[in-house]
């Protein structure tokens, strides 16, 4: 009798898929961290209306939002080596860089950081602008420098506001990392594809990889609830 | 000592302060009264450049700053020698009571944490809040928040304390605890400039009263002179109405 599923194959595939989890999580977390810097920088450029940079950053945000992530990954993967090579030949820069030795994970990290940074930019800007003006004035009135004001007073409060949005974007990013196999990164999705073609059991491995993504996202959601609670601990109703 | 010379402030074409001259001597408590929109809060905020004056000179303890050529360092020096108490308290929401008072000492004055904590505890003692050290602002009443606001301003031991309608957003029953605290601070010899709508309080606490309207000082004198024998008709009218309304 024909089985709908080869359950044994499915179960056996899961440990192999999970073994690539560090790649998936690494790209997602790494690009979250890098994109926070990009997001904060572009948000501040917009808030403080920095000339020239403001135009560049709004073109950047518009371009990223207006093109598919898949295309952006290809642009980074094929573009960066070409640009480095061009700079080496034309200007003699970056001589120590060996284009062929850059692992594909690096391109994935760059592409996802640049992509997520653009989406975070607006979230971070609106979170910073949602902080009460009085907080800025009080910080100035006691003589804080702009950097102290931002780091100690404004960012922590803005972060508390932004966490639900940041969390949603982070979860989307985790799922989007399933695209990285196209540039040769073997993440959990890549591993599932390899196993599937080896055993000609695609349905099984894709069920397996879905379960891994699902559990990962549930865990991240739980974690986000805890982080949000911690970040908003000073708000009304949470007794010390 | 604060000395203001010919302070002007425009918002676009609106002329909000029309050449204010004012001297507040060391240890003096000066109350600024006047109807809403008279520019009194703007004047206070021009002293620490939360509003940049369009023209004029602000001088605090020999540091003269010309509004038209003020550098970042000038502005920061004015802010370091003033402390401000806000109408909306503006306590740092993400900090506890103790942290709110300590932050200026540790991050602006670069005082070591243990020392800063000791100094902050002393100041919180003076405003009677040592039992709320680890509370966040959201867990305090308005009156308690404002007393922390006063402690935060006092912590930096500024030359001048600026009070911007410190009781205007408080429930009536919480006003007294804040006024009592301000009186105590005044009795300790601090130089203070207070914008307020509490006329009786202004009369009790101040050495000198200034009456403003439409961006100019129209009368100034001792509380006795201003409240009992105002010379200008407008002052008489304002104070009369306000006192009757009490």
CB-CB neighbors (< 8 A) of B138 in chain A? 234-237
Are B129 and B137 in contact by the 8 Å Cβ rule? The answer is no
Q: Does A142 touch chain B (CB under 8 A)?
A: yes
Are residues A137 and B86, on separate chains, in Cβ contact within 8 Å?
yes
Of A137, A144, A237, the CB nearest to B107: A144
Q: Which residues of B touch A (CB under 8 A)?
A: 48, 50, 76, 79-80, 82-84, 86, 88-96, 103-104, 107-108, 134-139, 152-153, 156
Tell me which chain B residues have a C-beta less than 8 angstroms from the C-beta of A130.
none
A49 at interface of B, judged by CB pairs closer than 8 A:
no
Instruction: Tell me which chain B residue has its CA closest to the CA of residue A238.
Output: B139
> In chain A, positions 148-177, which contact chain B (CB-CB < 8 Å)?
148, 152-153, 156-157, 160
Query: Is residue A224 packed enough to be buried (19+ CB in 10 Å), middle (13-18) or exposed (0-12)?
Result: middle
Whether A136 has its CB under 8 Å from any CB of chain B: the answer is no
Q: Do A239 and B139 count as a contact with CB atoms less than 8 A apart? A: yes
- Residue A213 within any structural domain of the chain: yes
Q: Which H helix or E strand runs over B219?
A: strand B216-221
Sign (positive or negative) of CA dihedral B65, B71, B75, B77: negative
pLDDT of amino acid A101: 86
- Partner-chain residue, chosen from B48, B50, B108, that has the shortest CB–CB distance to A144: B108
* pLDDT tens sequence across A166-202: 999 999 999 999 999 999 999 999 999 999 999 899 9
Q: Are B212 and B218 in contact (CB under 8 A)?
A: yes
Low-confidence ranges of chain B (pLDDT < 50): 246
Cβ burial of B144 (10 Å; 0-12, 13-18, 19+) is buried
Closest CA relative to residue A61, chosen from A41, A31, A83: A41
> Scanning every residue of chain A, which has its alpha carbon at the shortest distance from the alpha carbon of B137?
A234
Confidence class for position A96, pLDDT limits 50, 70, 90: confident
Structure tokens at A150: 């931002």
Query: Are B108 and A148 in contact (CB < 8 Å)?
Result: yes
Contact residues, chain A, for B102 at CB < 8 Å: none
CB neighbours of B96 closer than 8 A, spacing ≥ 6? A234, A240, B133, B134, B135, B136
pLDDT of residue A99: 80
Assigned domain for A203 exists: yes
Identify the pLDDT of residue B104: 95
Instruction: Tell whether A1 is covered by a domain.
Output: no
Contacts of A145 in chain B (CB under 8 A): 76
- The number of distinct structural domains making up chain A is 1
Q: What is the CATH number of the domain that holds A106?
A: 1.10.3720.10
Nearest residue of B to residue A159, measured between CA atoms: B94
Q: Which tokens is A117 given?
A: 């940074």
Write down the pLDDT at residue A239.
46
Asked whether residue A2 is domain-assigned, the answer is: no
Q: Do B177 and B161 form a contact (C-beta atoms < 8 A)? A: no
Checking ipTM against 0.90, whether it exceeds it is yes
Residue A20, pLDDT > 80, answer yes
**Quick check: A141 contacting B, CB < 8 Å?**
yes
Please provide the DSSP assignment of A53-107 as one string.
HHHHHHHHHHHHHHS-HHHHHHHHHHHHHHHHHHHHHHH--STT--GGGS-HHHH
Report whether pLDDT(A97) > 90. Answer: no
Q: Is A3 helix (H, G, I), strand (E, B) or coil?
A: coil
Count of A-B CB contacts under 8 Å: 81
pLDDT over 50 (residue A238): no
Residue-number span of the structural domain to which A181 is assigned? 7-239
CA nearest neighbour of B122 among B133, B112, B107, B108 = B133
Choose among B90, B136, B156: nearest Cβ to A138.
Answer: B90
CB of A129 less than 8 A from some CB of B: no
**Contact residues for A45 (Cβ-Cβ < 8 A; gap 6+):** A53, A54, A57
Of B84, B93, B103, the CB nearest to A135: B93
Q: Dump pLDDT digits (tens) for A38-92.
A: 999 999 999 999 999 999 999 999 999 999 999 999 999 999 999 998 988 888 8
Q: Determine, for residues A143 and B76 on separate chains, whether the beta-carbon distance falls below 8 Å.
A: yes
pLDDT of residue A91: 87
**What is residue B241's predicted lDDT score, i.e. its pLDDT?**
65
């Amino acid at each position: 009798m024909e089985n709908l599923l080869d359950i044994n194959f499915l179960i056996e595939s899961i440990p192999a898929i999970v073994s690539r989890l560090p790649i998936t999580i690494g790209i997602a977390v790494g690009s979250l961290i890098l994109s926070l810097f990009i997001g904060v920088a572009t948000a501040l450029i917009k808030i403080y209306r920095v000339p020239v940079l403001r135009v560049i950053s709004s073109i950047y945000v518009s371009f990223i939002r207006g093109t598919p992530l898949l295309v952006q990954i290809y642009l980074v993967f094929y573009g960066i080596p070409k640009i480095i090579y061009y700079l080496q030949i034309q200007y003699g820069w970056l001589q120590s860089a060996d284009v062929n030795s850059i692992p594909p994970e690096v391109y994935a990290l760059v592409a996802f950081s640049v992509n997520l940074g653009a989406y975070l930019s607006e979230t971070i800007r609106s979170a910073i602008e949602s902080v009460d003006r009085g907080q800025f004035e009080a910080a100035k009135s006691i003589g804080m420098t702009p950097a102290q004001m931002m780091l100690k007073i404004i960012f922590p409060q803005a972060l508390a506001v932004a966490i639900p949005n940041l969390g949603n974007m982070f979860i989307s990013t985790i799922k989007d990392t399933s695209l990285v196999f196209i540039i040769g990164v073997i993440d959990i999705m890549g591993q599932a594809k390899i196993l599937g073609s080896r055993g000609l059991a695609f349905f099984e491995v894709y069920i397996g990889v879905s379960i891994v993504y699902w559990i990962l996202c549930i865990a991240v959601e739980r974690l986000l609830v805890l982080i949000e609670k911690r970040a908003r601990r000073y708000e009304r109703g949470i007794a010390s | 000592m604060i000395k203001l010379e010919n302070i002007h402030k425009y918002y676009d074409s609106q002329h909000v302060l029309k050449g204010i001259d004012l001297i507040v001597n060391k240890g003096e408590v000066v109350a600024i009264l006047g109807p809403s929109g008279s520019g009194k809060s703007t004047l206070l905020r021009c002293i620490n450049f939360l509003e940049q004056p369009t023209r004029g000179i602000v001088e605090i303890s020999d540091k003269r700053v010309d509004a038209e050529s003020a550098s970042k360092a000038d502005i920061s020096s004015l802010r370091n020698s003033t402390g401000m108490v806000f109408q909306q308290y503006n306590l740092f929401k993400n900090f506890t009571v103790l942290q709110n008072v300590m932050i200026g000492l540790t991050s602006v004055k670069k005082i070591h944490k243990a020392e800063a904590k000791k100094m902050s505890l002393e100041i919180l003692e003076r405003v009677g809040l040592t039992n709320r050290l680890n509370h966040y602002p959201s867990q305090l009443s308005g009156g308690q928040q404002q007393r922390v606001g006063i402690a935060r301003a006092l912590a930096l031991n500024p030359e001048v304390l600026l009070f911007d309608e410190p009781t205007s957003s408080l429930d009536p029953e919480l006003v007294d605890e804040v006024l009592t605290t301000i009186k105590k601070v005044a009795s300790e010899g601090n130089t203070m400039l207070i914008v307020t709508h509490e006329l009786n309080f202004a009369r009790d606490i101040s050495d000198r009263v200034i009456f403003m309207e439409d961006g100019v000082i129209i009368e100034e004198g001792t509380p006795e002179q201003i409240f009992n024998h105002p010379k200008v008709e407008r002052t008489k009218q304002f104070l009369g109405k306000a006192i009757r309304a009490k």
